[in-house]
Amino acid sequence: MDLSIVIPFLNEEDSLQELVERIYTHVRPLNLQFELIFIDDGSTDDSINRLLESKKKHPEIKIVRFRKNFGKSTALSEGFDRAQGKIVITMDADLQDDPAEIPNLLKKLDEGYDLVSGWKKKRHDPITKTVPSKLFNFTTRLLTGIKIHDFNCGLKAYRKEVIRAIPIYGELHRYLPVLAHWQGFRVGEIPVKHHARKFGHTKFGARRFLSGFFDLITVLFITRYKHKPMHLFGLFGLINMFFGALILVVLAIQWFQGEPLSRRPLLFLGILLVIVGVQSFSLGLIGDMLTSSKDTRPKFAVKEVIE
Ligand code: UDP
Ligand code: MG
């Protein structure tokens, strides 16, 4: 198998058949052995029937159905596990990503890249999406040092080794380039055409945006401290202990000089808040670090596989 195209979808009934036809138009001439893996991430509309209709015509289509909506990362992860191709391309199902870019992605991989990410240079989305997205990409670029413009683009191509090496969950699909780069893979980018959503509506609102930022923090810490947490927590702990000791010494001196400690409520509150903050932050971080190396997918997410 040369190529697996993995497409997660949630309620995209009006787009799926057109998407399949467009993919075939651009992939068939390449003369590759390929498969299309659709992951139904808990759709409640007519998507599955439309897709089954397409499958009658195109035996390369495989469908994995989730019991309920588990999110795009889980869906992608499931598709990655099942992909048999030497190269895997991911794509959104809503016709916003253009299948005409598939040959271009493959060409760029051929130049020696392990992961090629699409860049929606002229983006056709409402300003409520593009502005937060710009901010998000800017921050991610700044913090990770990876010179990619569009981490969130659904259209990406991977060599098989890349997706085998990286477990994803939550909103981590956005950070595949970061995690891949960290493992030493070569990450590239090409500008891709982008279209306005023709049918249905976006599934990514403000809530996911925030959780995307939390995941960025996790990714940053995974890539820097996963194998040496002591370098992070140790330093943090030392600094806190130092200032804690300093405060206590100052208080002790003042106490010896006859000043009662009971008149310093703010100081105690400050110490308390620092301790509580440090504890809960570290706990959350440790939890995330542990989770990141485990496959947290629900074991029985898949209801049905249609091959
Ligand atoms: N999607 C999914 N599970 C979800 C949310 C979205 O599989 O929980 C799919 C969706 O059907 C689409 C792709 O992920 O194929 C991108 O979603 P969307 O178009 O809503 O995101 P946007 O383009 O607005 O960022
Ligand atoms: Mg979309």
Mean pLDDT of 197-221: 85
Q: Which atom of ligand 1 is nearest to the CA of 75?
A: 7
Distance CA 5, CA 27 (A): 10
Q: Hey, how many other C-beta atoms are within 10 angstroms of the C-beta on 297?
A: 18
Distance CA 124, CA 120 (A): 9
What percent of the chain stands above pLDDT 70? 96
**ipTM of model over 0.95:** yes
**109: Cβ contacts below 8 Å, ≥ 6 apart:** 87, 116, 157, 159
Tokens 């909506």, located at residue = 69
pLDDT tens track for 139-148? 999 999 899 9
Return the pLDDT at 297.
Answer: 67
Structure tokens at 26: 């651009």
Ligand 1 residue neighbourhood (C-beta within 6 Å): 8-10, 12, 41, 69, 71-72, 75, 92-94, 96, 154, 202-204
pLDDT tens track for 121-130? 999 988 888 8
Q: Residue whose CA is closest, atom 8 of ligand 1?
A: 71
Distance CA 11, CA 192 (A): 24
Return the pLDDT at 165.
Answer: 81
Which residue among 74, 203, 211 has the greatest number of ligand 1 atoms within 8 angstroms of its CB, and so is best to mutate? 203
**119: Cβ contacts below 8 Å, ≥ 6 apart:** 148, 149, 150, 153, 189, 190, 191, 192
Q: How far is the CA of 5 from the centre of ligand 2 (A)?
A: 17
| Lowest-pLDDT range of 9-13, 46-50, 198-202, 269-273 | 269-273
Given pLDDT bands bounded at 50, 70 and 90, which one contains residue 115?
very high
Say if residue 295's pLDDT is above 70.
no
Return the pLDDT at 211.
Answer: 82
Q: How far is the CA of 161 from the centre of ligand 1 (A)?
A: 25
pLDDT tens track for 33-81? 999 999 999 999 999 999 999 999 999 999 999 999 999 989 999 999 9
Q: How far is the CA of 198 from the centre of ligand 2 (A)?
A: 9
Q: Write the single-letter amino acid at 112.
A: G
Mean pLDDT of 282-301: 73
Residue 75's region, left for phi above 0, alpha for psi from -120 to 50, else beta, is alpha
Q: Write the single-letter amino acid at 156.
A: K
Return the pLDDT at 105.
Answer: 98
- 215-219 contacts at long range (C-beta below 8 A, 24 or more positions apart): 215/170, 215/171, 215/172, 215/174, 215/175, 216/136, 216/139, 216/140, 216/143, 216/175, 218/172, 218/285, 218/288, 218/289, 218/292, 219/144, 219/172, 219/175, 219/178, 219/179
| Lowest-pLDDT range of 27-36, 141-150, 162-171 | 162-171
Beta bridge partners of 188: 116
Return the pLDDT at 110.
Answer: 97
Structure tokens at 158: 């991977």
Say if residue 294's pLDDT is above 70.
no
Q: How far is the CA of 190 from the centre of ligand 2 (A)?
A: 18
The residue ranking higher by pLDDT, 229 or 77, is 77
Return the pLDDT at 266.
Answer: 63
**pTM score:** 0.85
| Lowest-pLDDT range of 120-124, 154-158, 217-221, 264-268 | 264-268
The SS3 of residue 242 is: helix
Beta bridge partners of 119: 191
Mean pLDDT of 246-254: 83
* Closest alpha carbon to 223 in 282, 160, 289: 289
Residue 114 · residue 187 · CB < 8 Å: yes
